[in-house]
Structure 1
Amino acid sequence: MLFQGWGESVDERWPDVAVVADHVGVDHLVVTRHALVRQVLADPVTWRPDNALDAVTPLPVAALRVLAGHRFRLPPTLANNSSASHPAIRTVVAEALHPTRVAAQQPWLTGLVRQRVARLAAALDAGEPVDLYAELAADLPLLVLARLVELPDAPVEAVKDFARAALELFWAPLDTDRQLALAAEVGRFHTVLRDFAATGGGLAATLRADGHSPDVVVGALFFLLVAGQETTSQFLTLLLHRLTAEPAVRAGLRAGTVAVADVVEEGLRLEPPIVTWRRVAAVDATLGGTAVAAGTSVVLWLARAGRDPDVVATPGRFLPGQRGSRRHLAFGAGAHRCVGAHLARMEAAVVVTEAATLLDGVRVARPPWCPDNLTFRMPDSFVVRRG
């Protein structure tokens, strides 16, 4: 594990802040309480986002050479940008993902999900196992994103492989051989992004017209493809898996006594795809009574903050609509709050509305397995069958 005692066991007792060494011996200040996590996120001057995309397993020279061969660079753009350029870049991306534009995609997405659900229901009725990750959730966010933002003409599988490779390369504990393989995968697609950034339309063209450098255009596309669509497909999978163990919630959905939006929010609170996020102390500071030296790496435990008893009435239970349910930090907070939050909520609401009935009368043949990763859960499959 990256941290001793890390993972999904968020019901164990932890202090508000704790110094913990990671898998390579680097100390981090882990922040667990909702109020303190929010305090850090709301103050990007004291707690800068500069380290948000730093590799948690230092990249060896050989891997750096592979990336350099593809002209790979990640300048301050969105999540890792504390400079004055951030608001302007964020504004362009936010306009591409504007709630009005997102809402316009809902009928199309509903039709697509409905078709897939009908096919999967027939397979289940025939006694076949179905993988709700691979056959329902995996590519939906990418397909929606492609309708909102012009993307490179690349196969869906290639984009998904690239995104998962990037999440592993920068946020997982790795050996050198794996780092080299992932660097090659990420570097190859980064070349595709760079070529598209120079000539593509839509978001890329708008950023170019606003005077942003090619590296910034690539960085914006990189973050949308990696943290934008991939995290949403992870959340859809995790939420559907959670709902298999919540028959009362599914019954409430059928009866109309439980709101779909409340289910989505409770899912974001209890099953967030992003469990931590990072900041670095820009100056000597104090957090929760603990002195923090400038340069300290701060790990914000978002998943645990969602179960803070000071915020949520019943932290460990899936109770849509309960007090505090919507105060989760699954999308962060402050100036760097997820710009795609509205999009993710829309996609999750459509999937819950259309696919929850698939979970009635099924058993989990293979639950989602999530590899060791500091930040992202990355479920690999979710197989169910009747009986």
Structure 2
Amino acid sequence: MADTAQSMDVEVPDPWSLPLEGFDVSKAEIFQQNKHGEYFRRLRKDAPVHYCPESAVGAYWSVTKYHDIVAVDSNHKTFSSVPSIVIGDPSDDFQPPMFIAMDPPIHDVQRKAAQPAVAPTQLSELEDLIRQRVIAILDSLPVGVEFNWVEKVSIELTTQMLATLFDFPFEQRHKLPFWSDVATTTDAVGVAGVDMEARMGHFEDCIAAFTELWHKRAAEPPKFDFISLLAHNPETKNMVDNPVELLGNLILLIVGGNDTTRNSISGGVYFLNKFPEQYAKLKADPSLIPNMVSEIIRYQTPLAHMRRVATEDTELGGQKIKKGDKVVMWYVSGNRDEDVIERADEFLIDRPNARRHVSFGFGIHRCMGNRVAEMQLRILWEEILNRFEKVEVVGEPERVLSNFVLGYTNLPVVLHPKSA
């Protein structure tokens, strides 16, 4: 795995000084150093649909404008998700199938089987449980002492939620975010602490744990956790016989339930400190929380991109895309498209139409757990305001080395209690 400290020493050049020919936004250090904003501003201005002929991840098209992203994401017939939804192909032959990287009809069948776990009826039952857990986490935090918000809050809350959605043994819940980190780490990008040489062993542990759970759930009456739903659905009940496919879909559900919420929880604290007038606005009017949640997800954009492959020769933004070309939708750029989103670079918790972002995608692959993510963030901020005057950021965050997951490993904060 690339060394995080060394990657921070890599010089990221001014994008406006680079020629458009060969302009490459796939380099993970651009995102880790939080310098990607100007790179995408350059592309939106000068080459909204841009071809990079050569890079560490091969040739690819960058789609950087809001409406072009929606057009690609909504057209799964011309832009296929097979074989992968990330910009880089795997360096080895291990590419487990998962329904987000499939097209209909297989995609539709497998997604439909898992969907009830996060259906609106389930969310209402989950709300009280989430609130109890949020309260327990917040009440256990040290006050007036610096600590890492990512570790104590963001990871802990999302890990507990994942354990609930999978009905995974609660005392072993920390295996879930670890497997998520293993899945999103490669030789070029990733997070500290993941041993690439041991990666396959970690996957085998994951398969073994979930295979045991699968057989247990299959022998029990149906429930609404992911494993039970898949094990009892006639279309997916035999997935356990294909361990690689089982792993692929488990990793999809783990990553989807982990990274989006975890990094939005961290990002929201950072943004409110970066824009203190918005923090004051929030404290003056807590009813803005639901709208702020959407703005956090837009501003953070937890997953920077999704990738497609053209199934036929086509045209987009005046550019001719050939069959077989990789097409990368940069959600992180679409969410800052000044032609669609007014004052796009500002964090505004009362932004009109705040839900009009591309973080959750569009079309058949739109994030199915978006309501769960929003609910966790809403409840968290309701309870933060109930007990703290401020969550003060006391240092710059440390970010994950990745061009896919826009995440944090450390966000130093100090809690200030509300005065009696």
CA deviations on 1:5-58 (whole Å, 9 max, x unpaired) are 943432432121111256526111010000000000000110011133568264
Q: Give the gaps of 5 or more residues in structure 1.
A: 68-72
> Is residue 232 of structure 2 the alignment partner of residue 211 of structure 1?
no
The structural deviation recorded for 1:373 is 1.3
**Partners of 2:125 and 2:54 in 1: CA distance:** 44
> Is residue 146 of structure 2 the alignment partner of residue 117 of structure 1?
no
- Which residue of the partner structure matches residue 302 of structure 2? 273
Tell me which of 103, 107, 129 is aligned to 2:146. 129
Change (3 A) 1:89 1:269: same
- Which residue of the partner structure matches residue 399 of structure 2? 370
**Partners of 1:3 and 1:50 in 2: CA distance:** 20
- Which residue of the partner structure matches residue 258 of structure 2? 229
**TM-score scaled by length of structure 1:** 0.86
Change (3 A) 1:301 1:6: farther
Is this contact kept in 1: 2:163–2:173, CA < 8 A?
A: no
> Is residue 167 of structure 2 the alignment partner of residue 146 of structure 1?
no
**Partners of 1:358 and 1:245 in 2: CA distance:** 21
The structural deviation recorded for 1:100 is 1.9
Change (3 A) 1:200 1:31: same
**Partners of 1:133 and 1:350 in 2: CA distance:** 17
Letter aligned with residue 99 of structure 1: P
Q: Which one is further off, 328-337 or 228-237?
A: 228-237
CA deviations on 1:98-121 (whole Å, 9 max, x unpaired) are 11211222222222222332332x
CA deviations on 1:273-319 (whole Å, 9 max, x unpaired) are 11111111111111111000111111111011011112111111111
> Is residue 122 of structure 2 the alignment partner of residue 101 of structure 1?
yes
Task: State the SS of the aligned residue for 1:138.
Answer: helix
Is this contact kept in 2: 1:55–1:170, CA < 8 A?
A: no
Task: State the SS of the aligned residue for 2:359.
Answer: coil
Change (3 A) 1:57 1:184: farther
Change (3 A) 1:24 1:79: same
**Partners of 2:210 and 2:132 in 1: CA distance:** 30
Change (3 A) 1:180 1:29: same
Is this contact kept in 1: 2:57–2:89, CA < 8 A?
A: no
**Partners of 1:185 and 1:22 in 2: CA distance:** 32
Is this contact kept in 2: 1:57–1:173, CA < 8 A?
A: no
> Is residue 181 of structure 2 the alignment partner of residue 164 of structure 1?
yes
- Which residue of the partner structure matches residue 18 of structure 2? none
Letter aligned with residue 235 of structure 2: G
Q: Give the gaps of 5 or more residues in structure 2.
A: 1-11, 13-24
**Partners of 2:379 and 2:254 in 1: CA distance:** 21
Change (3 A) 1:296 1:359: farther
- Which residue of the partner structure matches residue 348 of structure 1? 377
Task: State the SS of the aligned residue for 1:79.
Answer: helix
Is this contact kept in 2: 1:41–1:333, CA < 8 A?
A: yes
Is this contact kept in 2: 1:56–1:173, CA < 8 A?
A: no
CA deviations on 1:194-219 (whole Å, 9 max, x unpaired) are 33334435433432331322235443
Q: Any residues of structure 2 matched to 1:228-377 within 5 Å, and which?
A: 228-256=257-285, 259-356=288-385, 360=389, 363-377=392-406
Q: Which one is further off, 34-43 or 2-11?
A: 2-11
Tell me which of 31, 40, 48 is aligned to 2:80. 48
Change (3 A) 1:350 1:313: same
Change (3 A) 1:366 1:356: farther
Change (3 A) 1:385 1:108: same
Change (3 A) 1:22 1:266: farther
Aligned length: 370
**Kindly, what percent of the aligned residue pairs are identical?**
20
- Which residue of the partner structure matches residue 70 of structure 1? none
Is this contact kept in 2: 1:260–1:352, CA < 8 A?
A: yes
The structural deviation recorded for 1:377 is 1.7
The structural deviation recorded for 1:180 is 2.2
Change (3 A) 1:22 1:58: farther
Is this contact kept in 2: 1:266–1:318, CA < 8 A?
A: yes
